[in-house]
Amino acid sequence: MLSRHVRFRFDEARDCHVLLAPERVIMPDPIAVAILERCDGVASVGSIADDLAAHYAAPRAAVLADCLEMLNDLAAKGMIAS
């Protein structure tokens, strides 16, 4: 789940998705967007990886590793809460 001060939205001016936080703007790549779109506060990281692996016909282990890396990076930046 995103931290209370962070917003994930599509920015029409930039024509891309962004994570907005006080004095920060992060423009996630398409894979990060796919992960963030599935982060609803209910879905587990495993279920997100399952969904993405099926959607992209990719190995689940690789997808799970990518999900964890991206989410851990955002957690270290204070963008998501556990």
pLDDT tens column, 39-78: 988 999 999 999 999 999 999 999 999 999 999 999 999 8
Domains and CATH numbers, the chain: 7-76 (1.10.10.1150)
Q: What is the mean pLDDT of the chain?
A: 94
The answer to whether the beta carbons of residues 63 and 49 sit under 8 Å apart is yes
Q: In 22-76, at which residue ranges do the beta strands (DSSP E only) sit?
A: 24-26
Name the pLDDT band for 27 (thresholds 50, 70, 90). very high
pLDDT at 82: 65
pLDDT at 34: 95
pLDDT at 1: 83
The answer to whether the beta carbons of residues 35 and 51 sit under 8 Å apart is no
